[in-house]
Amino acid sequence: MTASPASAVQEARKTLGKRLREIRQAAGFATARAFAARAGWHESKSSRIENGVTLPSEEDIIVWAQTCGTEDQVADLIATARGIEEMYVDWRRLERAGLKHVQDSVLPLYERTQRFRFYQSWVVPGLLQTPDYARAVLETVASIRDAPGSVADAVAARMARQHILHAAGHRFAFLVEEWVLRTVVGDAEVMAAQLGQLITRASLPSVSLGIIPMGRPRGHAWPTEAFSVFDDERVAVELVSAHLNLRQPDGIADYARTFAELAGISVYGEHARKLIVSALDALG
């Protein structure tokens, strides 16, 4: 099982805090109090930063480095802090510029990724969605989170991104829980078309589609939040209220291991097709 998203962010903050503590100690400040006095801060501010309670701002990092005489580390420290800040992003903040912006913003990542691993426990993965299914999903998102912008434009952007399925040099592994196939999104007609497209897309040479059957003994591979692994560069995790980005090797390895465990209990090929057809039949 993967660590909780909150704990992953907290661990990253603690790691940065430990690094700043080491810089402070190497500069001859034996205590956080001594450093704070020189920096003109309240002692509690230094302690909160070193213990990972507070993420330092860019200005804080500059003051820290200048006080310790390590200005050469400023750029790297600021990049680290920005990475942590980007790890956990509230959906409403992410969607502030509009739903289409969210769709467009990930296109460079998709274009440079060679190996994709997607696990979905909520809905059909975006790269496999039909326009009507995507519209139903995004209309729900817009309604729940009052997201600005045109849903139609966001759907068009999501559909345009699907060209990557046919581009050379990319491999896609999708894992979907069976109950996703049986959860009607939109209406029965929309869902039937979506299930039919799953069968078609699964036949693409670059695509592997695994279905995790309901009732399958789980072992350690329990259902988890939906997530995507992009090469060994990044993991994107979809939470109810936020979006999590992981770039730390340990965090990526955790999700890669979870994906492998889920893949091990999935069915493929004709077995997966039978589950999709069964879900189609259930629509009547």
In whole angstroms, give the CA distance from residue 136 to residue 185: 7
Q: pLDDT tens, 148-177?
A: 778 999 999 999 999 999 999 999 999 999
Report how far residue 51's alpha carbon sits from residue 17's, in angstroms, rounded to the nearest whole number. Answer: 6
> Do 123 and 33 lie in a common domain?
no
Confidence of residue 88 (pLDDT cuts 50, 70, 90): low
Neighbours of 130 (CB within 10 A): 21
Overall domain count for the chain: 2
Q: Whole-angstrom Cα distance, residue 23 to residue 272?
A: 54
C-alpha 178/C-alpha 95 separation (Å) is: 29
Q: What residues contact 197, with CB distance under 8 A and at least 6 apart?
A: 128, 129, 130
Q: Are residues 226 and 174 in the same domain?
A: yes
Domain containing 24 equals 5-87
Q: What is the pTM of this model?
A: 0.75
Confidence of residue 90 (pLDDT cuts 50, 70, 90): low
Domain identity same for 66 and 165: no
Are 107 and 70 in the same domain? no
